[in-house]
Amino acid sequence: MSGYSGGKRANPNYEQVHSDATGHAEAIQIKYDPKVLTFEKLLEVFFKLHDPTTPNQQGADIGSEYRSVIFYHNEDQRKKAEKIIAGLENNTVYQNKIVTELLPFEKFYPAEGYHQNYYEKNKGNNYCTIVIDPKIQKLYKEFGEIVK
């Protein structure tokens, strides 16, 4: 589910988040069965499909709402995320330092309806074809065995 997390304002909307007035990041809430898909595998996908080295930016999208952040739900998740980040940095997987924040999960606010399943609803729009399509192709190429 698309939404917002990590800020101070309750029930923010898209315009508020993008005005930088709330402190929220655009986020997704993932519910999964750890017996089927591990937290480590989710983190592997996360780090392969975005650039965790650009502060407050993802591609052409710039602003604190685009920061790289993991909202962990417990200490086990925090430790696993720290371990994976350390491994990526020790193996110099990225040229630049990873800036992904690790923050305790507090609250998730679902985005407006028009943001839910945005790609499915807007496959022909330029943003989807230029920005999202290559990520979807990479997802299937590298993680096809776990994508349904």
* Residue-level pLDDT at 59: 82
CB under 8 Å, gap of 24 or more: what pairs does 85-91 form?
A: 88/47, 88/52
* Residue-level pLDDT at 50: 92
| pTM of the full structure | 0.92
Please give the full DSSP string across 12-74, using - where no structure is assigned.
Answer: --HHHHHTT-S--EEEE-----TTTS-HHHHHHHHHHHS-TTSTTEETTEESGGG--EEEESS
Sheet of 108-110: strand order equals 25-28, 2-5, 108-110
In this structure, the dihedral spanned by the alpha carbons of residues 105, 133, 19 and 114, taken in order and rounded to 10 degrees, is -80
Which residue in the block uniquely carries the two structure tokens 């986020």? 27
* Residue-level pLDDT at 48: 94
Question: Tens-digit pLDDT profile for the chain (148 aa)?
Answer: 999 999 999 999 999 999 999 999 999 999 999 999 999 999 999 999 999 999 999 888 999 999 999 999 999 999 999 999 999 999 989 999 999 999 999 999 999 999 999 999 999 999 999 999 999 999 999 999 998 7
* Residue-level pLDDT at 60: 82
Question: Domain coordinates of the chain in residue numbers?
Answer: 2-115, 117-148
Q: Which structure tokens are listed for 125?
A: 């729009």
Architecture of domain 2-115: 2-Layer Sandwich (3.30)
Q: Which amino acid is at 8?
A: K
